[in-house]
Amino acid sequence: MQLLAQIGVTPDAVCPVAVPEEPAAGERPRDCARRLARDKARAVPPDPGDLVLAADTVVAAGRRILGKPSDASEARRMLQLLSGRRHRVLTGVALRSATRDWLRVVETVVTMKRISSAELDAFIQSEDWRDKAGGYAIQGLAAVLVKRINGSYSNVVGLPLAETAALLASAGYRILPEPAAARPRS
């Protein structure tokens, strides 16, 4: 909701859906992000004139998908895997109307710094890893662990705003107001 508010979008309703977020056996990260976003959008049938927007973010180290850690030990293993290396954050964004579907996957490459044992211990103790794909949220304490990103920052947060705005515009939803008519010069 906060990300959508940044681009001036206020949903009429928020409909949580029960779509299992586990990857299918052998599923590649890009395909997983696409499928999850599509399935979430399809779980809410749009009324005529309505748009349904859904998204899902996947963190991938190579072909390995890093979900939300179930406990501190799993979070520690994920962050040790990401320490000092690049990984990808992929978000599938799906938009549905009563007559058409739009789907986009956005990829951002994130490079983590080498995380010391003391930093890892402190981060795990903070519990900022809870309910976060890959065990971190760039907008939280993990900001000090991220060395660089190549791509959309908002994608890493959870919703690529430029691409989402473009999908909405494709469906006829106006993000920016029409410019005011030019005033005649006197």
Determine whether 56 is an active site residue: yes
Q: Which of 94, 85, 79 is nearest to 132 (CA)?
A: 79
Give the other-Cβ count within 10 Å of 176's Cβ.
9
Rounded CA separation 156/150 (Å): 10
Separation in Å, CA 95 to CA 71, 136, 166: 33, 26, 11
Alpha-carbon distance of 159 to 142, in angstroms, equals 18
What would the DSSP string read from start to end of 124-161? HHHTTTTT-GGG--TTTGGGGTEEEEES-HHHHHT--H
Catalytic residue among 56, 71, 101, 131: 56
Contact between 42 and 36 (Cβ < 8 Å)? no
Interacting residues of 61 by C-beta distance below 8 A, sequence separation 6+: 81, 82, 85, 87
* Residues 90 and 107 sit within 8 Å (Cβ to Cβ): yes
Catalytic positions, written as ranges: 56
